[in-house]
Amino acid sequence: MSNLTKDQLWRLVQEAEKIIQNSYAPYSNIHVASAILSESGRVYLGVNVENSSYGLTICAERSAVSAMVTHGDRKPLAVAVVTDLADPIPPCGACRQVLAEFNPDAVLILYSTKSRKYTIMKLTDIFPQPFKL
Ligand code: THU
């Protein structure tokens, strides 16, 4: 997939898997972790952070984007989304839009820790028309 190696994508999955236990999901009990490989080569991590006011929940992918931007990076080349559900999950609509802001051509690797199933795709495959100003 593009010029990223399978090794780079697997490393991202492993980094996300290491921190999935930090996911704060007492309401849905769905744990998600994300790892972003940025253009600089650095990796940024995030988990979902739920709230008793459910709508305030932050997804793992947007947590990782915040970490990336906070540290001065702007371009996610690859994004791992790791969950403990039986099947891999794609980023929600809001996360697709937020990722597309920084790189609509990002590569996604979606992985389930439970089944070890994974799927690789491009963000453009699942979000071809981001809103842009
Ligand atoms: N969730 C994510 O972290 N990323 C997604 O793209 C989809 C959903 C989280 C939010 C919430 O904590 C839980 O999964 C169930 O919706």
Distance separating alpha carbons of residues 26 and 89, to the nearest angstrom: 19
CB within 8 A of 32, min separation 6: which ones?
20, 23, 25, 47, 48, 59, 60, 81, 82, 83, 89
Q: What's the rounded mean pLDDT across residues 18-22?
A: 98
CB of 57 closer than 6 A to ligand 1? yes
CB of 99 closer than 6 A to ligand 1? no
Predicted confidence band of residue 118 (pLDDT cuts 50, 70, 90): very high
Residue 3 is predicted with a pLDDT of 86
Given the CA of residue 27, which atom of ligand 1 is nearest to it? 12
For 38-96, how does the pLDDT look when each residue is reduced to its tens digit (9 = 90+)? Answer: 999 999 999 999 999 999 999 999 999 999 999 999 999 999 999 999 999 999 999 99
DSSP reduced 3-state for 53:
coil
DSSP reduced 3-state for 102:
helix
Asked if pLDDT for residue 1 goes beyond 70, the answer is: no
All domains of the chain in start order, with CATH: 6-124 (3.40.140.10)
Nearest-CA residue for atom 8 of ligand 1: 59
CB of 29 closer than 6 A to ligand 1? no
